[in-house]
Copies of this chain bind each other. A is one copy, B any other.
Amino acid sequence: MLATAYANDAGTVDHTTGFAPKRSPDADGLELRGIAGPTRTFEAKEHVFREGDAVTHVYQVEAGHVCIYKMLSDGRRQVIDFAYPGDFIGLGAMHEHGCNAQATSRARIRLMPVVTLRQVMRDDALLGMKLYEAISRELLAARELLMTVSQRTAMERVASFLVALSRRNARRGEDPREFVLPMTRNDIADFLGLTIETVSRTFTKLRAEGLIDLAQSVLVTIVDPASLEEFAEGRTH
């Protein structure tokens, strides 16, 4: 039985990459460490997999950040998700990957062969349930993003993006008020269905209205969380 292997013993530094360990990953404590195969380190901009690749593994980010995106033939890009340490990537792909996964910064990633995954899902109902829940969360997130991109204004999109990052940090036991953006304006723009100019202007406006502060372009401080959430929910006309 593999059911005892979920023990969250994250606490040691990976000396091969020098990453600081993260305390509580998003995936409700489920870790492939001890269950699955080895890790691999991907450099910034390196792809973990690409759309159309045969599915060979399921991946779990252990350190760094990964950008999941889809492309249109003419270059238009849609960022689907930013994977943080603890997050799974590559779940739900059946035969070939339906999107691309690219490290935004150096990332350490654990690999689990899909054959192992299938076998484990047969043998271990609890793990199967965990993966079902992980993919369910991805579905929820995709639909929430759809709502954001399709229905909200630029202001509301950026606000809800920041609120989501803040909540994610809170869940991970990090500071929900001040954090570093692990992605570029371009990534944010392609995530929210805006241009980088609009994203930049909107950040500026949020700062001008005193809802956030930007000491550097990547360092966000949420000054007025309540008002930011109002904006995010569209309750501020």
Contacts and interface: CB of A to CB of B under 8 A. Distances in A.
Interface in A135-154: 135-136, 138-140, 142-143, 145-147, 149-152
B136 A72 contact: no
Contacts of A235: 73-74
Contacts of A118: 129
A121 interface: yes
Interface of A is mostly: helix
A122 interface: yes
B133 A132 contact: no
A93 interface: yes
A165 interface: no
Contact of A146 (B74, B78, B132): B78
A206 interface: no
A163 to B, nearest CB: 14
Copies in the complex: 2
A160 to B, nearest CB: 11
Interface string A36-58: 00000000000000000000000
Contact of A234 (B73, B77, B129, B132): B73
A198 to B, nearest CB: 13
A15 interface: no
Contact of A151 (B78, B92, B136, B233): B78
Given A74-B235, A76-B234, A142-B139, A150 B193 contact: yes
B129 A132 contact: no
Given A92-B135, A135-B139, 5 more contacts: A72-B233, A92-B140, A139-B139, A142-B142, A142-B146
Interface of A: 70, 72-74, 76-78, 80, 91-94, 98-99, 118, 121-122, 125, 128-129, 131-133, 135-136, 138-140, 142-143, 145-147, 149-152, 193, 233-235
Sort A-B residue pairs by CB-CB distance and give the 7 closest, nearest first: A150-B193, A92-B136, A142-B142, A122-B125, A149-B150, A76-B151, A92-B139
